[in-house]
Structure 1
Amino acid sequence: MRNICAVEGVYATGIKEGKYGLALIKAKGTAAAVFTKNRLVAAPVILMKERMEKGVLDGIIVNSGNANVYTGEQGINDAKRMCEIAAEAFGTTPDKVGVASTGVIGRFMKLDIIEDQCSRIKGDLKHDDAAEEKAMRAIMTTDTVPKSAIARRKNFTVAGICKGSGMIAPNMGTMLSFVYTDAEISAADLKRALIPAVNRSFNMVVVDGDTSTNDCCFVTATGLKGKCDYDEFAAALEEVCISLAKQIAADGEGASKMIEVRVTGAKTEEDAAVVARTVIESPLVKTAIYGEDPNWGRLIAAAGRAGVEFDPDAATVSISNEGRADTVVLARKGEILADDVMHPDALAAAKKLMGGKVVVVDIDIACGAFEATAWGCDLTEKYVEINGKYTT
């Protein structure tokens, strides 16, 4: 089923050969983006932070296999050259081409591969399912599945694709994410909607706690369906971003389970978000969930070190399965409700709930009316195996 290619005016293609891949996405319109907050950033990020101030794009070129990071002036020139290569394919000028890279850090680009791949696929830009599939797979690195999402409204559509599996604690967006709409909307309004959407989605995903050097999230509006209500668009954009973020969490490197942590009862949304992210990124929490061990002490301990003021004796901690169809309260307002002495049945029930592919944690810190949700995954031996041999 088409996602970005269901958006009017979006054409895509891609190629993957071993660890090297290249995707082309042609879509002309207003545009906005957010980027990693890592102090070490990729050459494409440096270039696009400057060029995106114009608020327009005619297309994006994306390569996998080489991140183009820590490559100095040559890296910047290589990113510019990639824009030139894509501009010829799109029939536009280089300053209207977005560029993104993913892969190994600290290696110089092999532009001969990119030029060759682009020359072979530029004639395949299409507005169909197969073209989108090629683009999604071209940008994958350690991802095990392609990731896409769509939100249809009466007068417009928002859709996106992304890649991301490891080195995930974005602090801006996702590893690489490309979102499109056929609504007519200004670049300023795209940016206004994108920032909160990212904060409530990609910025709430933690796989391993590492913020990538290449994180970027682009949104382009082709405007072919005409004007839309801003609030309706913003809600649709957030829906797509949350779906993509959850797919990243579920596909975390070596993961066997996705974790969802919802924190309620906070004084502010930011407080709730900080607590949720702290819990989701805890190695002790991740390993306990991998082992299907309802060790709620790790959950409340992680919440307690988030730097947010609340009374632990007023908090409630629960475990649920996907959709919260079944729930076990582990502790409520200082009272232990699941342990191996007084409440072994509740402990066993909680352990059973953790046997599924999705484990949901609810923590009510009972000091306000705000909430936030974070997503992540368990930490397994496979994660070490993948990353212990990443470049070799």
Structure 2
Amino acid sequence: MTHENAVLTSDNLTWPTGFRGYTGHGGLRDHGDDISIVASDRPATSAAVFTQSLFAGPAVLLSRRHATGRTLRAVTTLAQNANVATGRRGEENAAEVVRRVAGILGVPEGDVLIGSTGVIGRPLPMTTILPHFDRTAERGLAAFTAAPQDVARAMMTTDTRPKTASRTVGQARLVAVAKGVGMLEPNMATMLAYVFTDADVSAPDLDAALRRAVDRTFNCLSVDTDTSTSDTVAVIANGAAGPVDTVLFADALADLCLDLTLQLASDGEGATKLLRVTVEGARDQAQAKRVAKSVVNSPLVKTAVHGADPNWGRVLMAIGKNTDETDIVPERVGVKFGEVEVYPDEPEADTLLKLVDLMRRDAVDITVTLGIGEGEATVYGCDLSADYIRVNADYTT
């Protein structure tokens, strides 16, 4: 990264020039804000990627159509209800929400993206949502006083903390909000993550930068191997700060997405530790990612990390179950926890003690060397605790 891609803290974070935010309580949850809107006061270019789930929800299906124009300038999110598997009624409800938001903002419906996240199989409570939008419409843009942290908090479901990130490129700023801690192994996108920038970037450059960033960050994330029906990642650029170097912009966007990825991984449901797995020396990047995902997704590896149990053989198990990767030869494989090598040389007793200390840290790094080629990938996840079961066993009850 260059010094021009400065990192901003989340404290007192504000929107880039020309953007404003809104949050309110629409009755999706018992208490607290559960509806949010972020909008540009001027036309914008955009790019977005979505879940490939066969049960993609109405919000995703509608947003896919709107995103093809690459002119999105507003995002609305409904928390606590995914509005998935709700049939024609769900489609009509999602479209009505977009109509209401577009009316409040005075923009075309096709310029509004909608995200919906939470319980699957329940219709949206339109009897409380629509009156909420009526009241918001009466206030108009005067109601748009929410900061990025407020919007990120309104998007939360089982998240324990709001997730925001920002970067600068020249005179332009990038500000992002995200949510997601479970049902999380992205397939082309992940959870809900929105990036807003006042940089002037063409739609093709924006799309290329987003897809590169997603491939190296969000698509390298896994909490529990489950791909959501509602995953959406979008970036909206309104050009208010003028043009920027496209290479520096792409670097900043990728760095920002990595920041959010680490926040999501470390806040995984029931998580107590961040888990990073790097595979080096693979045939190519795709193989490296597959092997790394098999390690980060292994329940046995994740529980060993949770208990700081130096059971390094579980990593070999996770590598070895990639039976289609016939060019992986055990004699060429190496495994490290941090800087401590555990394979191929059998660890001594004092090495295992060092390993326990490493695994007690807030972040645990595992590196696998395959000895095949130059491919490399790092994936991100978390440990597996009893709290993951508690959160998901009681999710709707």
Q: Name the TM-score, length of structure 2 as normaliser.
A: 0.91
* Aligned residues of 2:271 and 2:388 also touching (Cα < 8 A): yes
> Structure 1 stretches (4+) deviating beyond 6 angstroms?
none
Deviations 1:102-142 (A, max 9, x none): 0110011112322333445553213xxx5222211111000
Within the candidate set 30, 33, 37, 2:52 is matched to: 37
Deviations 1:41-99 (A, max 9, x none): 11011111112111111211100111010111111111111111111221212121111
SS of alignment partner, residue 385 of structure 1 = helix
Question: What residue is the counterpart of 1:10 in the other structure?
Answer: 19
Go from structure 1 to structure 2 and tell me whether the alpha carbon gap of 1:4 and 1:195 turns closer, same or farther (over 3 Å shift): farther
Give, as a single letter, the amino acid of the residue that structure 1 aligns with 2:72: L
CA-atom RMSD, angstroms? Answer: 1.7
SS of alignment partner, residue 224 of structure 2 = coil
Question: What residue is the counterpart of 1:22 in the other structure?
Answer: 35
Q: How does 1:132-281 map onto structure 2 within 5 Å? A: 132-281=148-297
Within the candidate set 310, 331, 334, 1:316 is matched to: 334
Aligned length: 376
Question: What residue is the counterpart of 2:389 in the other structure?
Answer: 384
Deviates more, 1:375-384 or 1:271-280: 271-280
Inter-partner Cα distance in structure 1 for 2:240 and 2:321: 49
Within the candidate set 345, 349, 355, 1:335 is matched to: 345
Give, as a single letter, the amino acid of the residue that structure 1 aligns with 2:336: S
Deviates more, 1:219-228 or 1:246-255: 219-228
- In structure 2, the gaps of 5 or more residues are 1-9
Q: How does 1:323-362 map onto structure 2 within 5 Å? A: 327-331=339-343, 334-336=344-346, 338=347, 343-362=348-367
SS of alignment partner, residue 199 of structure 2 = coil
1:301 aligns with 2:317: yes
Question: What residue is the counterpart of 1:323 in the other structure?
Answer: none
Question: What residue is the counterpart of 1:125 in the other structure?
Answer: 144
Inter-partner Cα distance in structure 1 for 2:133 and 2:373: 54
SS of alignment partner, residue 246 of structure 1 = helix
Deviations 1:256-300 (A, max 9, x none): 111011111112111111111111111111111111112111112
Give, as a single letter, the amino acid of the residue that structure 1 aligns with 2:34: G
Go from structure 1 to structure 2 and tell me whether the alpha carbon gap of 1:3 and 1:165 turns closer, same or farther (over 3 Å shift): farther
Deviates more, 1:66-75 or 1:138-147: 66-75
Q: Structure 1 residue 156: deviation in Å?
A: 2.1
Give, as a single letter, the amino acid of the residue that structure 2 aligns with 1:124: A
Go from structure 1 to structure 2 and tell me whether the alpha carbon gap of 1:26 and 1:85 turns closer, same or farther (over 3 Å shift): same
1:49 aligns with 2:64: yes
Q: Structure 1 residue 2: deviation in Å?
A: 6.2
Question: What residue is the counterpart of 1:324 in the other structure?
Answer: none
Question: What residue is the counterpart of 2:130 in the other structure?
Answer: 115
- In structure 1, the gaps of 5 or more residues are 321-326
Q: Structure 1 residue 15: deviation in Å?
A: 2.8
Deviations 1:221-278 (A, max 9, x none): 1111222222211111111111101111000001111101111111211111111111
Q: Structure 1 residue 14: deviation in Å?
A: 1.2
Inter-partner Cα distance in structure 1 for 2:22 and 2:152: 9
Q: Structure 1 residue 159: deviation in Å?
A: 2.3
Q: Structure 1 residue 373: deviation in Å?
A: 0.7
1:84 aligns with 2:99: yes
Question: What residue is the counterpart of 1:368 in the other structure?
Answer: 373
Inter-partner Cα distance in structure 2 for 1:3 and 1:111: 33
Inter-partner Cα distance in structure 1 for 2:358 and 2:135: 50
* Aligned residues of 2:82 and 2:118 also touching (Cα < 8 A): yes
* Aligned residues of 2:221 and 2:265 also touching (Cα < 8 A): yes
Q: Structure 1 residue 4: deviation in Å?
A: 7.3
1:99 aligns with 2:114: yes
* Aligned residues of 1:4 and 1:180 also touching (Cα < 8 A): no
1:61 aligns with 2:76: yes
Inter-partner Cα distance in structure 2 for 1:113 and 1:373: 44
Inter-partner Cα distance in structure 2 for 1:116 and 1:377: 40
Inter-partner Cα distance in structure 1 for 2:147 and 2:15: 11
Inter-partner Cα distance in structure 1 for 2:13 and 2:92: 29
Within the candidate set 76, 87, 98, 1:72 is matched to: 87
Deviates more, 1:17-26 or 1:52-61: 17-26
SS of alignment partner, residue 88 of structure 2 = helix
* Aligned residues of 2:293 and 2:379 also touching (Cα < 8 A): yes
Give, as a single letter, the amino acid of the residue that structure 1 aligns with 2:287: D
